Chain A
Amino acid sequence: MQMTGAEIVWEMLRREGVEVVFGIPGGGIMHTYHPRKEFGIHHVLVRHEQSAAHAADGYARASGKVGVAIATSGPGATNLVTGIATAMMDSSPIVCITGQVSTSVLGSDAFQEADITGITLPITKHNYLVTDVNELAATIRDAFQIARSGRPGPVLVDLPSDVQKAVTEFVPPMEEAMDSGQSLPVYDQEALDRAIELINRAHRPVILAGQGVLQSGAQHALAAFADKTQTPVAVTLLGKGSFSPSHSLYLGMMGMHGHAVANQAIQDADLLIALGMRFDDRVTGNPEMYALQARKIHIDIDATELNKVIPTDVAILSDLRPALTAMVDAVSPRQHGAWGERIEGWRTRSREMETLHHQLKDSLPAPHIINEIFSATDGQAVIVTDVGQNQMWAAQYYATECDRPFLSSGGLGTMGFGLPAAIGAQFARPGDEVWVIVGDGGFQMSLPELATLVQEKLPIRIALINNRCLGMVRQWQTMFYDSNYEATDLLNPDFVKLTEAYGIPALRATTLDSAREAISEAHANRGPMLVEFEVARDGELSHVYPMVPAGAALDAMIHRSPAPVASVAGGRAS
């Protein structure tokens, strides 16, 4: 069958099971847009290409499928860059299709020409510049395979306009040629035996569960392993949802703003079992002082992550699920009574320090807001966060149940991620209640996507935690930069009016009671709604606690004062 390059693109997307794509058309990609309708794939017109990449990313994370973003050449393509880098850092499978100037003028600085394959080379798993329409079908098939295989990641396909226009006989590419090379690494038995020996001998073990648990589908194996070995589980930010927070062995999140009990347990452990995580510096604190008493077992699908940051005693290159399943069978049942008691002691103290467990009059602490959202949604919402304090509060206080999505830009820490990623997530899970938690800083980085939300009639709930500043930076300024608030105060618009101007109902809450009411109204409402929470800019309540200062050991945590105080915590950081 004769087809244009443009038709081949949609035909291949259809064959890959793509139902929705996110993008913005332009001169360099118009040929491709032209025949879209015939292929029955929905297109979401975002308001900035960066949001197209984030939405594709959000879709991928919430669905487990490959997300697709489309942009035109030049500025359209370069606007994707931050979204691609975000997906790369968090191993999210997306395929970006960009228009390019015609091959006849490629390299001549033609109008809207940008070397996007060159630009995205270090932030994609792989990328292609297709110069022959006869290679197009196989290239798109390969792009999807690469994006979702092994450790997933973004792939970009750059399409010159003459290739989009060119006509050729469409021959469906073979599936199996690709899949035969896709075998995932499977553990070496000898290494696994050594790991099991360490586990059987350990007295103070801790499991570190990362996003790899979710991507490998190893949640059940993890639960079985933790139960049999009675090993407590700490999760990374992206590992939320890999282990049930209602399980008695759950420690919470580890790292810079992790739960104190998790960090304390890691530092005092005699064995760490790291599963599908990569010892990011936000997770380890100072690596020279990280879990010094512990032997380390590290299982990951990416060989380059093993022994990259933290030297391990047993490094196992493997897809997680088969390795963990084999370990469940091979380990001896264990009890760690004394260790469990110490952990309970830390847990109690850690709880006492938490803002959430204090009744605070006439104030609206962010932890309480997240807690109210958790209660109203029964822990069943799809949570998407932006980046900064809002993200850490959401991570700390929304106890994401096993298998429920919690979407956040972890590795790259991209402000502006929240709203567009939520749009993608809502398309992935049309029946679920999606809440996006944003701060006033990051919200304004992708604010125009409110229009996308309206145009697509998406019932997304937006929790805007407004402290009238770039809160996380300001917190650091308070703690480490002599309270010199350089460039962090924001003069904001009236967010309620602004949101209403987009046609989205909005509420404002200034007290805990009004917050509770507004949240339950947003929850009950069938459509989109924004709730703006006015929270403190200064004082202890404006800070995220606990906190491990950058470069400090993981157990050198700064806690909030036991009693609520009004002054800022100036000198406590040192």
Chain B
Amino acid sequence: MNRTLIATVADCPGVLNRVASLFRRRAYNIESLTVGHTEKNGVSRMTIVVDSRRTDAGKVARNLEKLIDVLHVEDITDRPAILHDLALIKVRIRDRVARSEILRIADSFQARLVDMCPSTAMVELVGSERKIDTVVEALRSHGILEMVRTGRVAMVRGVSENEVEAMASTEQRMSMWEEGGNQWQE
């Protein structure tokens, strides 16, 4: 079973390296890791998916929390959350029939057609990993030329008490970070 961790980290040089190095050193199996900016300047957010049959997500979280540049870690697996993956899929168009079928598949899964040439089409799809898997299967017979998936990004629905606390602690640490004029966090 997969577990999803959200880590907010200071956006400073080497932070991805530190996180990746931790996973390597402790031999943690990671399904996916995405990283990007957040609503706050200087704070990045990582969504980490762990295969809990092989790696204890709690240990991953506790070890992440020891890293100085990591501000907050939360396991959101058991909370109502949006878990999305984004895929770009380039498919071969053999003939007119294939073309209309690809359009139909894209339409029925609410995928966007983002590029169309006489011989290829590019489909952009956002949704759960399962939904993307389904679309990939449907398109496979046409010949998938290229595909890229971002890996899971996640966000908890609504606002719970925990989240308010987490936001407060992140904010507090960020303000310390700004005052201190450095990347120090803990």
* Residue positions of A touching B, CB distance < 8 A: 117-118, 121-122, 125-126, 128-129, 134-135, 138-139, 142, 145-146, 150, 173-174, 177-178, 180-181, 302-304, 308
Is A122's CB under 8 angstroms from B181's CB?
no
Query: Which of B18, B21, B66 is within 8 Å of A304, CB to CB?
Result: B66
| Closest beta carbon of chain A to B61's beta carbon, Å | 9
Q: Which residue of A has the minimal Cβ distance to B173?
A: A181
A-B contact pairs, 6 of them (CB 8 A): A125-B68, A126-B68, A142-B180, A145-B184, A146-B186, A181-B185
Q: Known: A181-B176, A304-B62. Contact between A138 and B181, CB under 8 A?
A: yes
A134 to B21, CA, bound (A): 29
Chain B positions within 8 Å of A125 at CB level: 68
Is B17's CB under 8 angstroms from A181's CB?
no
Closest 8 CB pairs of A and B: A142-B184, A126-B68, A138-B182, A177-B180, A303-B62, A304-B62, A122-B25, A177-B179
Is B184's CB under 8 angstroms from A178's CB?
yes
A490 to B18, CA, bound (A): 42
Interface of A (DSSP majority class) = helix
Is A118's CB under 8 angstroms from B17's CB?
yes
Chain B positions within 8 Å of A117 at CB level: 14
A174 to B178, CA, bound (A): 12
Whether a CB of chain A sits under 8 angstroms from the CB of B29 is: no
| Closest beta carbon of chain A to B16's beta carbon, Å | 12
* Residue positions of B touching A, CB distance < 8 A: 13-14, 17-18, 21-22, 25, 59, 62-63, 65-68, 173, 176, 179-186
Query: Which of B17, B62, B182 is within 8 Å of A135, CB to CB?
Result: B182
A134 to B183, CA, bound (A): 13
| Closest beta carbon of chain B to A259's beta carbon, Å | 33
Query: Which of A126, A129, A174, A308 is within 8 Å of B59, CB to CB?
Result: A308
Q: Which residue of A has the minimal Cβ distance to B69?
A: A126
Is A142's CB under 8 angstroms from B176's CB?
no
Q: Which residue of B has the minimal Cβ distance to A134?
A: B181
A181 to B184, CA, bound (A): 10
Listed residue (B66, B184, B185) with the most chain A CB atoms within 10 angstroms of its CB? B184
A308 to B59, CA, bound (A): 8
Q: Known: A121-B21, A122-B21, A122-B25. Contact between A303 and B182, CB under 8 A?
A: no
A174 to B186, CA, bound (A): 15
Chain B positions within 8 Å of A121 at CB level: 14, 17-18, 21
Chain A positions within 8 Å of B14 at CB level: 117, 121, 129
A424 to B59, CA, bound (A): 36
| Closest beta carbon of chain A to B152's beta carbon, Å | 24
Listed residue (A125, A134, A138, A302) with the most chain B CB atoms within 10 angstroms of its CB? A138
A292 to B22, CA, bound (A): 32
Is A180's CB under 8 angstroms from B176's CB?
yes
Chain A positions within 8 Å of B25 at CB level: 122
Is A177's CB under 8 angstroms from B176's CB?
yes
| Closest beta carbon of chain A to B174's beta carbon, Å | 12
Chain A positions within 8 Å of B186 at CB level: 146, 150, 181
Chain B positions within 8 Å of A177 at CB level: 176, 179-180
Q: Which residue of B has the minimal Cβ distance to A146?
A: B68
Chain A positions within 8 Å of B63 at CB level: 304
Q: Which residue of A has the minimal Cβ distance to B175?
A: A177
A563 to B29, CA, bound (A): 53
Known: A134-B181, A177-B179. 12 other contacts (CB 8 A): A118-B17, A135-B182, A138-B180, A138-B182, A138-B184, A142-B180, A146-B68, A173-B180, A173-B181, A177-B176, A180-B176, A181-B186
Chain B positions within 8 Å of A138 at CB level: 180-182, 184
A192 to B62, CA, bound (A): 21
Q: Known: A181-B176, A308-B59. Contact between A135 and B181, CB under 8 A?
A: yes
Is B65's CB under 8 angstroms from A303's CB?
yes
Chain B positions within 8 Å of A302 at CB level: 66
Chain B positions within 8 Å of A129 at CB level: 13-14
| Closest beta carbon of chain A to B101's beta carbon, Å | 50
Q: Which residue of B has the minimal Cβ distance to A128?
A: B183
Q: Which residue of A has the minimal Cβ distance to B177?
A: A177
Chain B positions within 8 Å of A118 at CB level: 17
Is A139's CB under 8 angstroms from B68's CB?
no
| Closest beta carbon of chain A to B11's beta carbon, Å | 15
A469 to B22, CA, bound (A): 38
Chain A positions within 8 Å of B66 at CB level: 302-304
Listed residue (B21, B65, B179, B180) with the most chain A CB atoms within 10 angstroms of its CB? B180
Is B176's CB under 8 angstroms from A139's CB?
no
Chain A positions within 8 Å of B185 at CB level: 181
Chain B positions within 8 Å of A142 at CB level: 180, 182, 184
Q: Which residue of B has the minimal Cβ distance to A138?
A: B182
| Closest beta carbon of chain B to A71's beta carbon, Å | 21
A173 to B176, CA, bound (A): 13
